[in-house]
Structure 1
Amino acid sequence: MRVLFLSWRDTTHPDGGGSEVYVERIAAGLAARGHDVTVLCAAHEGAADVTVRDGFRIERRGGRLTVYLHGLAALLGRAGRRTDVVVDVVNGLPFAAPLVRRRGLVALVHHLHREQWRIIYPGTGGRVGWFVESRVVPWLYRRVPFVTVSEASRRDLASLGVTRTTVVRNGTPPLPAPRLPRSPTPRLCVLSRLVPHKRIEQAIGVVDALRERYPDLVLDLVGDGWWAGDLDAEVERRGLRDAVVRHGRVDEQTKADVLGRAWLMVLPSVREGWGISVMEAAAAGTPTVAYASAGGTGESVVDGVTGVLVHDEAGLVAAVDELLSDPERRTRLGLAARERAATFGWDEAVDAFEKALVAAYSP
């Protein structure tokens, strides 16, 4: 099949994250099976207009908002007419592909963005964004099959009236073996885009709350994003410059090293479709503390088995405190996390996604 993904960014974009990792892993898997795969996404500084990677093609056009117009234009052009299946990646805003295409169409939704709209655009803009996502998308895509990445996201979509949904979970991204042993002193990590709805300030707050009890406690922040300056200011305000290390974007080996050194991953995000960083940490034998209310983390973390799920910020501090002081339990959780992470493969994810595409191509 000729498959076109419409995605507002790719993994090389400064705001690229887990959604883009998923799209590109699936695209590479489909290409390896002989499908002709293209990802159309926004252009950004320093990136070529066209790139071929892992057997699929990336075309970059337009900016943060104009990429949606370029997506529709592509569907109306010759390339769109020759495409068998279009995957419309709805990250809050849709490409609105059903306006110009009736068959061979799949919508991919990682999670809903109710909280993100309120946090990032607290005024009218956020209300309009949530209206589009919660009202316009279900109506416009009412005849389109959906793919999502967790049962939590499937339930959220069902609450909006979207019922034709297939769950295709993330695989665990392969990482090299850490070059360094587990840190001899307490070390936390956060692997995330640096944006407000990830609530990384709360991870910084954990360090602040526990630094008297654990004087050597360090937090590693891996990732980048437009909220980085605000996080730096928060670190300065709390006087934690020596306790928080911000690494920015790193290569895969460095990421593995940081995850392997950490005692715990802390993920205070308000909403996750699945929590791909949870499984990356798990593959390094590092358990995660996250929020039960964040959707997909309730599935990527098995509470009390591969990590701990909490309900509020006080619970986040208490859970980290308990695990830092209990090496036997922490080791037990880490071993179980590593074993479970190994059960989520990308081949299985590509199998399931390919079936969804075939069904859309020949309903």
Structure 2
Amino acid sequence: MARVAVLHNTLDGRGGADAVCLHVCEALQAVHDVTLVTLSRSSLADLNALFDTDADVRVHRPAGTGVVCRAFDALPDRYGPQLAARSVLLRRLFAPHAADFDAAVSTANEFDLPLPSLQYIHFPQFNCRHAAAGDDPRLDPLWSRLAGVGDRSLPADAHLLANSGWTADAVESIYGRRPGVLAPPVDPVPNPRPWEDREAGVVVLGRLAPDKRPLEAIGIVDGVRARGYDLHCHLVGSTSTIYADYARRVAAAAAERSYVTLHRDAARERVMELLATHRYGLNCKPAEHFGMAVAEYVAAGMVAFAPDTGGQREVLDGRSDRLFDSTPDAVATMTAAVANDDRPTLPRDRYASDRFHAAIREGVAAVLGTAEGVA
């Protein structure tokens, strides 16, 4: 049994990357002594309930985490979540404790760490200006340099995984190393209704945040209804102090429409019920690095729609009749599927969590083998 540190900058956003972190802890806790190191105030109990996980590990929050979180939480509505800055700080605070562990697992992208590591990359957080699909944040050169990766190289003993082929391309373009691809865990929804018994409604799953574009999703449903199809919409969103102002705007837009229902921080059982009883799933975030919500729609036996960019194209097998490039195109694409009574065709068990857990355990074993000098 090895001592393994799982590093995650913040779990307070309550998104797909955070679900991956909880699954990694769950996968490793039975075979290793695991400590989660994070700048996050969220409790494991709350996150387990949200993500339907059973992580039960030691949590180390560096001194001053509460103050740091409050400072960062004041920024996102205007400046974004500042994940790179959080990661720089996490690396600095973890460094004095690194010798207490045999290996580390990052579930918050790439790090320059002083011990062997497995690094799960949702999308590069540093040197993003060098990726064709990346943003060009003004402080990217600064954070990259402070993170120790300003020369665009990662430690030789770091084993890399990416959540999609699209993300792997971005990592390779920056660091010259191509990660293996391991899609996040998404289990089939239990007991889905037969298609004929499902409600003609749209589920929009994801945190209430600007990048997820729930307001655009409402506009798409408005457009389909304007073409004569009586769809209703369920916005199922986790909320966070990080995006409090934006969440209030979404709530106001939902309240103006009788056919839109907002479910804030819904229990997992309620989320599963909505996915199992409705026909359509909609994602509106462009360049989604993987698309956890899209994968959940597929796992529920729904017909899913998403922007024609990013890893979600892989989840939907590149189907042009499920992908769109603008709000008008989304309205036309969804309207055609409803009018034709299109049925789901993709396998529901493609991303089952047991596959993910086994791959993570194998990856950590490989890291530990490398650390011991084993080929």
After TM superposition, give the deviation of residue 211 of structure 1 in Å.
1.8
> Unaligned stretches of 5+ in structure 2?
73-85, 130-134
What's the TM-score, normalizing by structure 2? 0.76
2:278 alignment partner in structure 1: 262
Amino acid at match of 1:198: K
- Is the contact made by 1:189 and 1:222 (CA closer than 8 Å) also made in structure 2? yes
Residue 356 (structure 1) shift: 4.8
- Partner deviation per Cα, 1:58-108 (whole Å, 9 max, x = no partner): 33341346785455333313xx212011223445xx6x543xx1x313433
Q: Structure 1 length normalisation: TM-score? A: 0.78
* 1:289 alignment partner in structure 2: 305
Gap change, CA 1:140 and 1:157, over 3 Å in 2: closer
Are residue 81 (structure 1) and residue 79 (structure 2) matched? no
Superposed CA offset, 1:201-222 (max 9, x none): 2211111112233463211111
- 1:223 correspondence with 2:205: no
- Which residue of the partner structure matches residue 22 of structure 1? 20
Name the residue aligned to 1:199.
213
SS at match of 2:34: strand
Instruction: Map 1:1-363; keep pairs closer than 5 Å.
Output: 1-10=2-11, 13=12, 15-32=13-30, 34-44=31-41, 54-61=55-62, 62=65, 63-64=68-69, 69=89, 71-77=91-97, 80-90=98-108, 97-98=112-113, 101=114, 103-112=115-124, 126-129=137-140, 132=143, 137=149, 139=151, 141-144=153-156, 145=158, 146-173=160-187, 175-177=189-191, 185-214=199-228, 216-225=230-239, 226-227=242-243, 229-230=245-246, 233=249, 236=252, 240-293=256-309, 295-304=310-319, 308-327=322-341, 329=342, 331=343, 333=344, 335-338=345-348, 340-341=350-351, 345-358=355-368, 360-362=370-372
Question: Identical aligned pairs, as a percentage?
Answer: 21
Q: Which runs of 5+ in 1 are unaligned?
A: 118-122
Relative to structure 1, the CA distance from residue 45 to residue 39 in structure 2 (aligned partners, 3 Å threshold; closer, same or farther) is closer
Alignment CA distance shift 1:362-1:277 (3 Å): farther
* Cα distance in 2 for residues equivalent to 1:354 and 1:130: 31
Quote the offset at 1:310 in angstroms: 2.1
Matched residue count: 336
Q: Is the CA contact (8 Å cut-off) linking 1:179 and 1:257 kept in structure 2?
A: no
The separation in 1 between residues aligned to 2:198 and 2:189, in whole angstroms, is 22
Q: Separation in 2 of the partners of 1:45 and 1:341?
A: 26
Q: Offset of 1:182 from its aligned partner?
A: 6.9
TM-aligned CA distance change 1:178 to 1:357, over 3 Å: same
User: Residues 147 and 165 of structure 1 are in contact (CA less than 8 Å); yes or no, is this contact kept in structure 2?
Assistant: yes
Aligned CA distance change for structure 1 residues 317 and 234 (closer, same or farther; 3 Å)? same
What is the CA RMSD across the aligned residues, in angstroms? 3.7
User: Residue deviations 1:94-141, cap 9 Å, x none?
Assistant: 6x543xx1x313433202469x99xxxxx99x3214764599646264
Q: Distance in 1 between matches of 2:326 and 2:141?
A: 24
What CA distance in whole angstroms lies between the structure 1 residues aligned with 2:153 and 2:196?
A: 48
Alpha-carbon distance in structure 2 between the residues aligned to 1:38 and 1:25? 14
Distance 1:172 1:208, change over 3 A: same
Shift of 1:360: 5.0
Check the 8 A contact 1:41/1:67 in 2, yes or no. Answer: no
